[in-house]
Amino acid sequence: MPTFALLPTRSVIALSGEEASTFLNGLITANVEDVDQGTPAYGALLTPQGKILFDFFIQRDNERYLVDCSAGQKLDLIKRLTFYKLRAKVDITDLSDTMGVAAGWDGAELPGLAYADPRSDGAGLRTMAALDDLKGLEDAGAEAYETHRIALGLADSDRDIGSGELFPHEANFDQVGGVHFTKGCYVGQEVVSRMRHKAKVRKRIVIARGETGSLASGSEITTDGKVSGTVLSTQGTEGLALIRLDRLEDAYANAGDISAGDARLTFRKPEWATFDMPEAPN
């Protein structure tokens, strides 16, 4: 059955002007030259030290670029883009009063500038559309969307990634097409490039399940008594977690305790993920 969810925690901003494409391409992890109507990109603006400040979706709308970003981070994103703009011929416009964001899956069709979520084939569609057009959707609600994305292992800007906390590889950007590794320079590129060539990324966001107890966001994950990660967003007994894979491997080898608060945890990697992850013994 087609399912629709309005995403009030998301906002839309626009970048236009004759230098908008060049300006964005020199800043963010995605290749803006590949973005066209119907061909979106997922990417981020990083700190010079390579950590994610803001993640977002970009879609082209005729001569402008529309950006689907966290509503809570929107003003800071606009401020940071303005800081980098200098004399570039780029206009940055907040469209929150006229446009909104929605998601749809299981065969849903969406109004506005709809596109397939580029992170995962199972994610379905997203759209940036006029608020009046979104009013006609039968909203399944925030819980339905949270259940959908967590089951797919897709991180949320606010609840999972944050700002200035994670490197792109830790948030699986290398797995979901969030980093273009062969385009020109952008802010934080050198750090991302070094991480790409490391033998193994130590920490990853993976799917966690509370087998017993209560799975609570923000709980420290301990393996063999060592703090090894954090529970991120949760929905019922499932959630996402940032976990040190080496300590998880040690805990499996030692048949050690893996818990967060009173919850005993198991983990799995998303179906789209290609990174190596320790497997629990049978």
For 146-199, what is each residue's pLDDT tens digit? 999 999 999 999 999 999 999 999 999 999 999 998 888 999 998 888 777 665
Q: Say how far apart CA 60 and CA 64 lie, in whole Å.
A: 6
Contacts for 205 with CB less than 8 Å, ≥ 6 apart: 153, 155, 160, 170, 171, 172, 232, 240, 241, 242
Q: Say how far apart CA 171 and CA 169 lie, in whole Å.
A: 5
Which pLDDT belongs to residue 35?
A: 93
Domain 3-161, CATH among 3.40.710.10, 2.60.120.260, 3.40.50.2300, 3.30.1360.120: 3.30.1360.120
Which pLDDT belongs to residue 122?
A: 94
Fold for 203-268, please state it: Elongation Factor Tu (Ef-tu); domain 3 (2.40.30)
Which structure tokens are listed for 140? 């399944």
Average pLDDT score, the chain: 94
Where are the domain boundaries for CATH 3.30.1360.120 in the chain?
A: 3-161
Kindly tell me if the per-residue pLDDT of 97 is higher than 90: yes
Which pLDDT belongs to residue 199?
A: 57
Which pLDDT belongs to residue 41?
A: 96
Where are the domain boundaries for CATH 2.40.30 in the chain?
A: 203-268
